[in-house]
């Protein structure tokens, strides 16, 4: 079992380019697992965590409803946004500047073989990070991601999640709103959930801008602790 994880900070990168890169890393791990089984070898499989910020883009999961995108092609161009149908779970979401997007590409057989536990740990990482800023974030029963003021008329989502797993290898992940232009969420029914608001860390803290580097450091700290993993330098 290899509990080392390599963190790759990609800066701002096009969504499709990042998706292709995810697929390459994912396939590399899957191929190694197939080789181990066929040849009865014990090659270690690598694990990665990609951290990235995307230009404006809307992505629709495989179980999503395209009517939850409220823009036509001309309006997408006007908004300087792109749209992709992708192979993760979940419905529609938005990625854009000021948002920390994380893609763990892990061989869960290095850690535990439980997708529900995997999702709960990703949520817990967000909850613990936001607690450091004095925010009480929670899960919302039957709804993905991480929320504030669950069970009240003021419930609002601060982090979206959608993953894919095959042969216990994960891809896609989480999107935490830090300094996001929330107006872009007005163009979708976020995650297919009607009548629920979306928020961003800077809005909750009443700040113009939150230090993204600091937030990423906190996320990585909790991620490695929860997964009992070791950082590859």
List the binding residues. 88-95, 160-162, 173-175
* Size of the chain, expressed as the number of residues it contains: 233
Structure tokens at 91: 């419905």
Nearest to 145 by CA among 61, 81, 70: 61
Q: How far apart are CA 30 and CA 26, in angstroms?
A: 6
Q: How far apart are CA 19 and CA 88, in angstroms?
A: 11
Residue 159 appears among annotated catalytic residues: no
- Among residues 50, 100, 137, 191, the one annotated as catalytic is 191
Q: Which residues make up each annotated binding site for substrate? A: 88-95, 160-162, 173-175
- Alpha helix (H) residue ranges in 40-177: 73-78, 115-131
170 in Cβ contact with 177 (< 8 Å): no
Residues annotated as catalytic (active site), given as ranges = 191
């Amino acid at each position: 079992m290899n509990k080392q994880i390599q963190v790759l900070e990609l800066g701002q990168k096009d969504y499709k380019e990042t998706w292709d890169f995810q697929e390459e890393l994912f396939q590399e791990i899957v191929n190694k697992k197939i080789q181990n089984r066929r040849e009865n070898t014990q090659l270690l499989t690598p694990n990665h965590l990609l951290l990235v910020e995307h230009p404006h883009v809307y992505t629709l999961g495989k179980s999503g409803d395209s009517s939850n995108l409220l823009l036509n092609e001309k309006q997408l161009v006007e908004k300087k946004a792109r749209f992709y149908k992708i192979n993760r779970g979940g419905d529609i979401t938005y990625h854009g500047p000021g948002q920390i997007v994380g893609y763990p590409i892990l061989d869960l057989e290095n850690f535990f073989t439980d997708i529900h536990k995997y999702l709960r740990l990703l949520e817990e990482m967000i909850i613990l990070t936001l607690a450091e800023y004095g925010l009480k974030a929670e899960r919302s029963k039957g709804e993905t991601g991480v929320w504030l003021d669950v069970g009240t008329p003021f419930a609002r989502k601060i982090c979206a999640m959608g993953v894919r797993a095959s042969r216990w290898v994960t891809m896609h992940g989480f999107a935490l709103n830090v300094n996001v232009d929330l107006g872009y969420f007005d163009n979708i029914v976020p995650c297919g959930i009607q009548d629920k608001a979306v928020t961003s860390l800077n809005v909750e803290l009443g700040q113009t801008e939150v230090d993204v580097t600091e937030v990423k450091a906190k996320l990585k700290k909790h991620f490695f602790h929860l997964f009992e993993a070791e950082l590859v330098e």
